[in-house]
Structure 1
């Protein structure tokens, strides 16, 4: 690679929380996702020279997550040369599918390649988290970690950061429906109670442990029984039109489980086969058929790989 060549990195969307794993669990999708192109510049500083796929994002590197991530990495390494970056958005903003995380993860991965891979992919998580801090005010890892590492990832603790990649021990396919309404993460968090009843807490811990065991044992029945949120979904679901009907439709169509993706408004469902995931997609779409709410739908395998270098741009619009 010469200094004039762009490194092109792709990082996928993610589903965080996964019902019972609020703030500690997430998994990657194959698509949609974002691309970040990076190359070394002899001039100092970071420049964002192009943003494609979406309007309204700042090209100021101090105000865009890709610039924040890149600067954190350069500062950590004491590097004085500059970087030129481009952002190609392939996923919607504010969807609950980790849009800022995909940009942050792709930036960390691309910059790491340009710098000669001074960090492992797991070490990149902490730098991608800085993009999340810029985007939401909180440096959380439940989206950026699976976007970088692929598969399922458990965030055991933040002090110190303890990220546990679980990979993809079983084949799972995710159907996501994105009703195109605005739902701010701050609002979705503000309505949550600060205390929980012990009985609900015990059920939630049991479900999370059951989901982990089901994944590692390849027990689809246990996975399905464990994909329940006793605490947060009942409060957050009132912010998402037709959530209850969509969940019922997904389960009736054979989904293992269904819940809110991140803070919403997207709704995800997990299935054991690609064919089942497509049937679930049709059922979920039907609930919004006469609602007047525009939707986008995605079906993706939960992949083993997350962020990666690509030779050619791979982003294509996904039809609803």
Structure 2
């Protein structure tokens, strides 16, 4: 069984706590009980000890520079050390940024989870399922880094007139006093604007931004733009926990629903062309699937509790 990110975070937290504890501190006893409560805790702690030995063998200037490159808050130290444990060492910790960084992001949601966050300037961020982003506010800029997933942002007026930038693996989005949403996956970043405007800029074309106005959407990759199209009226339904579709192909519907399903959700190609319309609650994907079998000639085959397949009836 693999050690997940949460257990590694616990191990790092214990490491930091014990470093500041006295030799007779009861914290050592609590740590021992934590180790004995789960074999994965012991494996995670072995990684911590191995990382500590690796750090101790580094030249002093490299060791100091590595840790001083992050803000010295407790949260930042936990993030950095957990990341090192996940990617397997100091040398590669700074190069594997996408999904790995998401596990230790400032804000994140699990599959099927949604949440709302107010930032320091009053801006509101709605997080959709399986999303992770970091926040970097300073005197010059308000910046978010969306590692993966989907967010909707309602920016607040800033007294310091700092620009509001969102970065993804494909480029960046600059808000122009607006409400907008961004969906980032492996292939592209998709942006839709509900109010005012934004500028989108692929990583290789930062000198050539294009502006999206209210009611428009477009995607972009690392080096090119997609077509500008109208934003559907239902594009923000997910913030209300709904998936609203009109005459969608079933394969498209299942692919979208799978983003919210805890486990594997796939389909037999024979059902792909069926059409579906309606409003569906995203907090219970199993109920949505059962509803399919009552409205379409399909059945739901559960291989396990977390593995479902839509097949012909």
Q: Relative to total residues, which structure has the larger strand share, 1 or 2? A: 2
Both structures adopt the same fold (TM-score exceeding 0.5): no
Larger radius of gyration: 2
- TM-score, normalised to structure 2, is 0.30
Q: Which structure has more RCO (C-alpha within 8 Å, separation ≥ 6)? A: 1
